[in-house]
Structure 1
Amino acid sequence: MRYRRADTPGATYFFTLNAADRSGQLLTDHIDALRDSFRTVRRSRPFVLDAVCVLPDHLHLLMTLPRDDADFATRIMLVKQGFSRRIPAGERISASRAAKGERGLWQRRYWEHLIRDDADFERHVDYIHFNPVKHGRAERAADWPHSSIHRFIREGVVDAGWASVSGAEMDAGE
């Protein structure tokens, strides 16, 4: 069976990208390289980074494409490649990856979801920002440093106490 991805120009998409080693800290240990990769891709292939949260072994993001553009796949590929080029080699690589000249930093596939409406957008923003709490990395969403929640707090969209372990401020949507 051939998997078909959505291809709606100007749409907003939710993504989950996983590190190949889900037990490591690759993404947070090299957060500056990841940020640089996103910046580089955004200069050559613009998109709006609506929300993002980077955990040690995976990241979630919402991306809105330009009105006449549906090519998120190239953007995701370039972010992953750019990050991989910024990281010193040394990871364990499978024979199949080595044969293809690939690094072993990322899982090959990623999860993508076309955002359908404002409510879907809000649910996914909440999911992204709640993720460090869900995974036991922070008591409050605002305590996690690698999240766009800090921009949302600065802009008055959410309160700094939103989504905490101790309170019932947030339904994780699961």
Structure 2
Amino acid sequence: MATENPSWQPGSAYFFSAHLRDRYSRLLVEHAQLLRLAFRIAQQARPFRINAIVVLPDHLHGVWTLPDGDEEGHRRWLQIQAVFDRQLPGHPPRAMVRRDRTVRPLWHSDFRERRLVDADDVQRHIAYVHSYPVQHGFVREACEWPYSSIHRRCAREGGPC
């Protein structure tokens, strides 16, 4: 999956990936509820649809869709980071947060996003997101990974994962 740096386009779906600086960290799964809260707050401030998401110990992948007339995708990510960082007990030390607040000490600065070109591309990336824990040996079946939107999809479709 090549990294692009597109300008955000209203109504478009995007694949995104974000990593913590510490590759050995487990913060994202240990504090999954705080991450969920950060996404919810960002959605309330600037609505968007999460098509798929999977949270791993030190990074996450997802697909989200911006509403028509909205190009603020990157701002959403900055807000998610900021809320997560503020809610995390003891992290980060306040002195480490830059004044412009665009660089967060916990997060690698290389937030990756890629605009998806059509409905097939969206479905391929949703499948990729949901299969990621299996591909990397965390679980045998995608539905065994607790930090994935695959459970929401299965419930919506009324069947097993």
TM over 0.5: yes
Deviation per residue, 1:35-55 (Å, 9 max, x gap): 000011101110011111101
Listed as ranges, the gaps of 5+ residues in structure 1 are: 161-174
- Which structure exhibits the higher relative contact order, with contacts defined as CA atoms closer than 8 Å and separated by 6 or more residues? 2
Listed as ranges, the gaps of 5+ residues in structure 2 are: none
Structure number with greater Rg is: 1
Q: Which residue of 1 aligns with 2:105?
A: 104
Q: Which residue of 1 aligns with 2:27?
A: 26
Same amino acid, percent of matched pairs: 36
Verify the 8 A CA contact 2:42 2:76 in the aligned structure 1. yes
Verify the 8 A CA contact 1:152 1:158 in the aligned structure 2. no
CA deviation after TM superposition for structure 1 residue 6, in Å: 2.1
How many Å separate the matches in 2 of 1:51 and 1:159?
A: 17
Distance 1:104 1:158, change over 3 A: farther
Q: Which residue of 1 aligns with 2:123?
A: 122
Q: Which residue of 1 aligns with 2:136?
A: 135
TM-score normalised by structure 1 residue count: 0.81
Shift >6 Å, 4+ stretches: none
CA deviation after TM superposition for structure 1 residue 99, in Å: 7.8
CA deviation after TM superposition for structure 1 residue 90, in Å: 5.0
Q: Which residue of 1 aligns with 2:67?
A: 66
Secondary structure in 2 matching 1:126? helix
Deviation per residue, 1:21-70 (Å, 9 max, x gap): 11110100000100000011101110011111101011011111110001
CA deviation after TM superposition for structure 1 residue 116, in Å: 0.4
- Residue 88, structure 1, aligned to residue 82, structure 2: no
- Residue 13, structure 1, aligned to residue 14, structure 2: yes
How many Å separate the matches in 2 of 1:10 and 1:31?
A: 27
Q: Which residue of 2 aligns with 1:46?
A: 47
Secondary structure in 2 matching 1:10? coil
Bigger shift: 15-24 or 148-157?
A: 148-157
> Number of matched residues?
155
Q: What is the RMSD computed on CA atoms of the aligned residues?
A: 2.3
